[in-house]
């Protein structure tokens, strides 16, 4: 889920808000109440739900979360000259950049998952990504893409743990953590809320959602999965979960149509062009940092490789194919409710 230097369109915000509101059924029980706040940070809408008998304590916890998110944005923002990611990119091909523990650990995890997914997720996609502008509907020419692809290779990133430094081997390489940073932030947000005494809640960073604890009344959370070709309030499915992370990558998030072809932001690192065959992928795992990167990887990976990765990571997965049909892994069947006319199939 790549970040962009402009405010998300209102239809995206509304669709996400609707999906999140499904989780608020039965919002009060005894002394426990749900408290919500939202904010635009990390170039997207962030919605936080905290369960607490005290509105004041919930507000303090959520404010602390947003303060932490603003700090992380300052480290990871691909478009800010002041961020540590920009420092790494400026020094590409010349020297290593000394970075904070947060940046180093996130880059380390991104590279680990790049290796584990055999490059289906690759945070060095930056050189090609910058050729595309999905807001202005600008696409590159083939020759430009081919030239930039030479700089897309996660194996050419060197980490030095002792010095907490990151180096891109070749000048022209660009590191972009947009496909994993929101999941990482959601994980960190849960940590902040727990440290502030919040026993349960939701941290939703656009399509990356972390839940913990249970709703008032001892209920599970209900997370809506948007129908890729529907309107803001149309859902493909609803997933119930107690704690964990769910991330969705879809071809409807950032796209434009040209000659009846949909060009979207989920670029294949092997070709530099949007991956084909799917409309959306939702991944449920223990941590947002994993579900975030994996939802991107599974969207990009081909059929056999995709199934291999699903079995390797043993994650719960819901997929909508380009023909509108759907698929879900067997370990998801007890917590999945189909909403539209898509026909579910088990692994």
User: pLDDT-based confidence at 338, cuts 50/70/90?
Assistant: very high
Q: What is the pLDDT of residue 219?
A: 87
Sign of CA dihedral 238, 319, 184, 82: negative
Q: How far apart are CA 273 and CA 276, in angstroms?
A: 9
Structural domains in the chain?
A: 10-52+193-335 (3.10.520.10)
User: pLDDT-based confidence at 231, cuts 50/70/90?
Assistant: confident
pLDDT of 233 above 90 = no
DSSP secondary structure code for residue 51 in this structure: E
DSSP 227-279: -TTS-TT-EEEEEEESSEEEEEEETTSSEEEETTEEEES-B-TTTSSB--SEE
Q: What is the pLDDT of residue 218?
A: 76
Q: What is the pLDDT of residue 26?
A: 39
pLDDT of 2 above 50 = no
pLDDT of 236 above 50 = yes
Structure confidence by residue, pLDDT tens digits, 10-69 = 344 434 444 444 544 434 544 689 999 999 999 899 999 999 999 999 999 999 999 999
> Residue range 232-246: average pLDDT?
92
Q: Which residues of 122-145 are buried (b: 16+ CB within 10 A; e: fewer)?
A: bbbbbbbbebbebeeeebbeeeeb
Q: How far apart are CA 268 and CA 165, in angstroms?
A: 27
Q: What is the pLDDT of residue 49?
A: 97
Query: To the nearest whole number, what is the mean pLDDT of the chain?
Result: 90
DSSP secondary structure code for residue 25 in this structure: S
pTM: 0.90
pLDDT of 211 above 80 = yes
Q: How far apart are CA 305 and CA 289, in angstroms?
A: 21
Q: How far apart are CA 299 and CA 275, in angstroms?
A: 7
Q: How far apart are CA 215 and CA 96, in angstroms?
A: 46
Question: Among 70-74, 213-217, 261-265, which is the least confidently predicted range?
Answer: 213-217
Q: Which residue has the higher pLDDT, 30 or 198?
A: 198
Token representation of residue 170: 């070749």
Q: What is the pLDDT of residue 291?
A: 98
Q: What is the pLDDT of residue 304?
A: 94
Q: What is the pLDDT of residue 143?
A: 98
> Residue range 250-276: average pLDDT?
96
Strands 208-212, 200-205: parallel, antiparallel or unpaired by DSSP? antiparallel
Q: What is the pLDDT of residue 217?
A: 82
Q: What is the pLDDT of residue 14?
A: 39
């Amino acid at each position: 889920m790549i970040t962009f230097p402009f405010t998300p369109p209102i239809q995206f915000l509304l669709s996400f808000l609707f999906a999140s509101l499904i989780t608020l059924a039965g919002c009060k029980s005894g002394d426990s109440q749900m408290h919500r706040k939202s904010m635009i940070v990390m170039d997207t809408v962030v919605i936080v739900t905290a369960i607490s008998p005290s509105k004041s304590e919930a507000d303090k916890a959520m404010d602390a979360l947003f303060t932490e998110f603003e700090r992380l944005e300052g480290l990871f923002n691909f478009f800010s000259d002041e961020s540590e990611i920009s420092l790494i990119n400026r020094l590409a091909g010349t020297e290593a950049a000394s970075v904070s523990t947060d940046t180093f650990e996130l880059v380390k995890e991104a590279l680990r998952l790049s290796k584990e997914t055999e490059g289906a997720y690759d945070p060095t996609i930056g050189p090609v990504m910058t050729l595309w502008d999905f807001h202005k509907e600008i696409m590159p020419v083939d020759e430009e893409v081919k030239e930039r692809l030479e700089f897309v290779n996660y194996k050419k990133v060197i980490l030095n743990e002792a010095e907490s430094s990151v180096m891109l081997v070749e000048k022209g390489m660009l590191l972009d953590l947009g496909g994993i940073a929101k999941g990482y932030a959601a994980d960190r947000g849960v940590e902040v809320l727990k440290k502030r005494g919040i026993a349960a809640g939701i941290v939703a960073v656009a399509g990356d959602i972390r839940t913990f604890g249970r709703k008032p009344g001892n209920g599970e959370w209900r997370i809506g999965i948007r129908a890729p070709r529907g309107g803001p309030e149309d859902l493909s499915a609803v997933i119930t979960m107690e704690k964990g992370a769910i991330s969705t990558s879809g071809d409807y998030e950032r796209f434009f149509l040209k000659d009846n072809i949909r060009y979207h932001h989920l670029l294949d690192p092997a070709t530099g062009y949007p991956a084909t065959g799917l409309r959306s992928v939702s991944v449920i795992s223990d941590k947002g940092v994993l579900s975030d990167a994996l939802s991107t990887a599974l969207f990009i990976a081909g059929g056999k490789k995709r199934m291999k990765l699903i079995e390797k990571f043993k994650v719960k997965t819901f997929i909508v194919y380009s023909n509108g049909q759907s698929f879900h892994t067997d370990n998801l069947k007890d917590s999945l409710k189909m909403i539209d006319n898509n026909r579910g199939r088990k692994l």
